[in-house]
Amino acid sequence: MWRTTGQKTKLSAPRLSGEKRAPERMQETLACRGRVAVKGLHGFLHESIPASLGPLVSRRWLSICAGTCRMAREAAKRGESESYEVTRDKVAEDVLLPENRLNILRRMEAGLFWGAWLDLPCHTNSPARRGRGIPGQQPGYPRALRSKDHPMGIEGLTEGEKIDVELSNALGTFAKDLLRARKAFLARRGSTPTPGNFQIPVGLENPWRSWIMLHDDLKDEIAEASKRGLTDVCAFGAVSRKRTDLVLWGSTGVCGEVSLFRLCSSRGGFCDFSKKKHDELEGKAGKFFKTAGSAAYPPAFCKAVVEVFAASASSGL
Residues 194-235 pLDDT 10s: 555 668 999 999 989 999 999 999 999 999 999 999 999 999
Domain-wise residue ranges, the chain? 24-227+246-251+299-315
Mean pLDDT of 129-152: 70
Residue of 78, 16, 88, 86 whose CA lies nearest to 48 = 78
- Residue range 67-91, pLDDT digits in tens: 778 898 898 888 778 888 776 555 5
pLDDT at site 79:
79
Q: Which of 142-156, 166-180, 292-306 has the highest mean pLDDT?
A: 166-180
Is the pLDDT at 294 greater than 50, yes or no?
no
pLDDT above 50 for 248: yes
Q: Residue 34's pLDDT band (boundaries 50, 70, 90)?
A: very low
3-state helix, strand, coil in the chain (%, to 5): 30, 15, 50
Q: Which residues of 102-141 are buried (b: 16+ CB within 10 A; e: fewer)?
A: ebbbebbbebebbbbbbbbbbbbbbebbbeebbeeeeeee
Question: Ranked by mean pLDDT, which of 17-21, 101-105, 220-224 comes out on top?
Answer: 220-224
Q: Is the pTM of this model over 0.95?
A: no
| Of the candidate ranges 67-71, 236-240, 290-294, the one whose mean pLDDT is the lowest | 290-294
